[in-house]
Amino acid sequence: MIEIRPAQDRGMANFGWLDSRHTFSFGEYRDPNHMGFADLRVINEDKVSPGQGFGTHGHQDMEIISYVLEGALEHKDSIGTGSIVRPGDVQRMSAGTGIRHSEYNASKTEPVHFLQIWILPEQKGIEPGYEQKNFAIAEKQGKLRLVASRDGRDGSITIHQNVDLYVSVLAEGELVNHTFAPNRAGWLQVARGAVQLNDLTLNAGDGAAIAQESLITIRGDAGDAEVLLFDMAA
């Protein structure tokens, strides 16, 4: 079973400096039918104006992943991390017992466009942590590249939950297949472009909940598509 979450049905928040779209309930947007999917709690598509950003604020007991599509995101946190996250980077911050951080557009002239993803951790009260790695286009073109996993295999970043996160870049007509083990489910998020998921069309910003499917095919449908695929316990 595949259920599409259309981009235009997402929650919305626009503060002038921030234009955000919420796949699941977040902030002042509340929808009891879209509170998350399995261990996936938040997918926000954020566009931040030049020189603007999120001031220092706190999180606890959440695995937070940032995936930049365009521009550069400047990160600082209370455990001493300072970094710039750029396209191709995957950043993981484990909030654990508590962490404070800020996120700003690193540019004074260009916007930053990124996905902020929250995953529920498998246990509460872990030590806060941070990890960031870059995955080149060549690693993702026409294939599903594992970029995050619980065991950090294949050079992926580690997350404290039984979730595998794959990224793929697909030219028109390129396709990838993914097999789900028993009692696993998936979420596909289209970051840009358009794809065919089995026989369904998904465009930029669309998501899809995947349950009780043993095999899926993702085919590039228009331009250079970029997708994120989450494989999780059902």
Number of Cα atoms under 13 Å in the Cβ half of residue 76: 8
Q: Which domain holds residue 169?
A: 138-233
Alpha-carbon distance of 61 to 230, in angstroms, equals: 20
**For position 37, which CATH number holds?**
2.60.120.10
Say if residue 128 is in the same domain as residue 194: no
Say if residue 89 is in the same domain as residue 152: no
Residue 62 has pLDDT above 90, yes or no: yes
Say if residue 124 is in the same domain as residue 17: yes
> Contact at 8 Å (CB) between 49 and 17?
yes
Alpha-carbon distance of 47 to 69, in angstroms, equals: 10
Average pLDDT over residues 33-59: 95
Say if residue 216 is in the same domain as residue 189: yes
Say if residue 27 is in the same domain as residue 121: yes
Alpha-carbon distance of 226 to 137, in angstroms, equals: 10
> Contact at 8 Å (CB) between 51 and 108?
yes
Alpha-carbon distance of 8 to 27, in angstroms, equals: 18
Q: Where are the beta strands (DSSP E) in 39-158?
A: 40-48, 53-59, 63-70, 73-77, 82-85, 89-94, 99-105, 112-119, 129-134, 145-149, 157-158
Q: pLDDT tens digit string along 90-114? A: 999 999 999 999 999 999 999 999 9
- Of 134, 151, 186, the residue at which a domain comes to its end is 134
The verdict on residue 32 lying in a domain is yes
The verdict on residue 74 lying in a domain is yes
In this structure, what token pair is assigned to residue 171? 């030219």
Residue 84 has pLDDT above 90, yes or no: yes
Say if residue 84 is in the same domain as residue 63: yes
Residue 118 has pLDDT above 90, yes or no: yes
Say if residue 197 is in the same domain as residue 223: yes
Residue 208 has pLDDT above 90, yes or no: yes
Residue 29 has pLDDT above 90, yes or no: yes
Say if residue 126 is in the same domain as residue 181: no
In this structure, what token pair is assigned to residue 31? 């929808």
What is the pLDDT, as a whole number, of residue 222?
Answer: 78
Of all helices (H) and strands (E), which one includes residue 180? none
The verdict on residue 120 lying in a domain is yes
> Contact at 8 Å (CB) between 126 and 97?
yes
Q: Which residues contact 30 (CB under 8 A, 6 or more apart)?
A: none
What is the pLDDT, as a whole number, of residue 223?
Answer: 79
Q: pLDDT tens digit string along 166-178? A: 999 999 999 999 9
Residue 213 has pLDDT above 90, yes or no: yes
- Of 101, 134, 167, the residue at which a domain comes to its end is 134
The verdict on residue 41 lying in a domain is yes
Say if residue 129 is in the same domain as residue 15: yes
Q: Are strands 99-105 and 145-149 parallel, antiparallel or unpaired?
A: unpaired
The number of folded domains in the chain is 2
Average pLDDT over residues 18-38: 96
Of all helices (H) and strands (E), which one includes residue 81? none
Say if residue 142 is in the same domain as residue 225: yes
**CB atoms near residue 155 (< 10 Å):** 12
Say if residue 76 is in the same domain as residue 90: yes
Average pLDDT over residues 203-211: 98
The verdict on residue 77 lying in a domain is yes
The verdict on residue 4 lying in a domain is no
Percentage of residues in the chain having pLDDT higher than 70? 100
- Of 91, 107, 134, the residue at which a domain comes to its end is 134
Candidates 181, 184, 215, 183; CA nearest to 198 is 215
Q: Are strands 99-105 and 200-203 parallel, antiparallel or unpaired?
A: unpaired
The verdict on residue 94 lying in a domain is yes
Candidates 136, 198, 203; CA nearest to 167 is 136
The verdict on residue 1 lying in a domain is no
Percentage of residues in the chain having pLDDT higher than 90? 97
Say if residue 105 is in the same domain as residue 19: yes
Identity of residue 204: A
